[in-house]
Amino acid sequence: MTEKSKKGKILIVDDSADIRLLLILKLKKAGYDVLAASNGMEALEVIGENKEIKLIILDVMMPVMNGIQTMKLLLNRIEKNQLRENQSPENTDGENPEAENVMDSDDDFPLLKVVFCTAKQDPRQIELALQAGADDYITKPIDEAIMVQKIHRLMGHQDEQLFAVLRTQIPITIEEYPDAEPSTLLELSETNAKFECAFQIADGTNLTFHSTYLEGFFKHNVKLKGSVIFQEKKGPDQYETDIFFKGLSEQDRQELRSVTTTKRELIEQNEEGEGEGEGQGEGSLE
């Protein structure tokens, strides 16, 4: 196995040869070992023969067996292997016998992350896919940068950070939501940001945010633009959101680098006056 392929093995399932080729090229370039199948039945055969597969990208609309049917069979089989000692062998209601036969019966049937690939204009399909058990989704037309970021996160490589990350607790304003309360920036790097907000935002949404605290340090207006990669609900009206920056100039990146590589965190000055005299009284860089 090459050094790059040690990131893990991924299976792409799509009836479009063009999309399969696109995803194979992009994910191999990102360091993954990639297999492909053209429909759900073929996918089950590939998985039965490759226990090291860690993630599957499933197209929703496919011939022979669609993505929802394929995922349900996969999840049922995984659950059976996990609970084999307590489960009666004849309890197979609702399964496709032909599909069951193409999957190996070994107890080590792989635990898989499932990512659906679906049309962006059909939010109902996205909701159904997530309710059925998918871990995440990507939409067509595929944004390659967002897709790779999602895969890194699901495969456990989000900590393979090539750029320094600055921990923060400062308010930001999101231009696309002018009437909302300020959000809180949690992390900042040259490529990504994470913030907490009180509203739901769809994956792939383009956002622009700015902060008077950042402007105080950079001495000019700072507007950072990016696309939502992932959003997780943390509580009532509390969503943690990851974005991937798009369209930053080299000057933008240099300024971000100047802060993220030299400081541990960026915090808002508290009421007791800690950090007084730093950041022109607007915040402090620790």
pLDDT of residue 269: 55
Rg (Cα) of the chain, in Å, rounded? 22
- Tell me which of 59 and 88 has the higher pLDDT: 59
Which contiguous run of DSSP H or E holds residue 46?
A: helix 40-49
pLDDT of residue 81: 63
Task: Say yes or no to pLDDT of 105 above 80.
Answer: no
Residues 136-195 pLDDT 10s: 888 888 888 888 888 988 888 765 555 788 899 999 999 999 999 999 999 998 888 999
Q: Is 26 inside any structural domain?
A: yes
pLDDT of residue 277: 38
142 and 174 together in one domain: no
Bridging pattern class, strands 238-245 and 192-197: antiparallel
Q: How confident is the model at residue 27 (pLDDT cuts 50, 70, 90)?
A: very high
- Tell me which of 120 and 187 has the higher pLDDT: 187
Least Cα distance to 232 among 150, 114, 125 occurs for 150
Q: Is 253 inside any structural domain?
A: yes
pLDDT of residue 92: 46
140 and 212 together in one domain: no
Name the maximum alpha-carbon separation found in the chain: 72
30 and 61 together in one domain: yes
Q: How confident is the model at residue 282 (pLDDT cuts 50, 70, 90)?
A: very low
Which residue in the block uniquely carries the two structure tokens 């008077």?
A: 212
Write 278-284 long-range contacts (CB < 8 A, 24+). 279/213, 279/216, 279/217, 280/216, 282/212, 282/213, 282/216, 283/170, 283/213, 283/216, 283/217
50 and 144 together in one domain: yes
Q: Which of 127, 154, 181 is the last residue of a domain?
A: 154
Quote the mean pLDDT of the chain.
Answer: 78
86 and 146 together in one domain: yes
128 and 253 together in one domain: no
pLDDT of residue 276: 39
Distance CA 198, CA 219 (A): 29
CB 139 within 8 A of CB 116: no
Name the token pair of 79.
């659950």
173 and 146 together in one domain: no
Identify the bridge partners of residue 242 per DSSP, sorted by sequence position: 194, 230
Q: Is 38 inside any structural domain?
A: yes
pLDDT of residue 161: 53
Q: How far apart are the first and last CA of the chain?
A: 43
Domain that holds residue 144: 4-154
Q: Is 78 inside any structural domain?
A: yes
> What is the reported pTM?
0.63
181 and 74 together in one domain: no
pLDDT of residue 253: 77
Domain CATH for 281:
2.40.10.220
145 and 188 together in one domain: no
10 and 143 together in one domain: yes
Q: Which of 122, 154, 186 is the last residue of a domain?
A: 154
Identify the bridge partners of residue 196 per DSSP, sorted by sequence position: 184, 240
Q: Is 231 inside any structural domain?
A: yes
17 and 52 together in one domain: yes
Q: CA dihedral defined by 88, 89, 94, 100, rounded to 10 degrees?
A: 150
pLDDT of residue 286: 47
34 and 10 together in one domain: yes
Q: Is 161 inside any structural domain?
A: no
Residues 37-78 pLDDT 10s: 998 888 888 988 888 999 999 988 887 777 777 888 877 776
Number of domains in the chain: 2
CA distances to 13, 55, 103 from 78, rounded to whole Å, are 18, 13, 11
Provide mean pLDDT across the span 76-104: 55
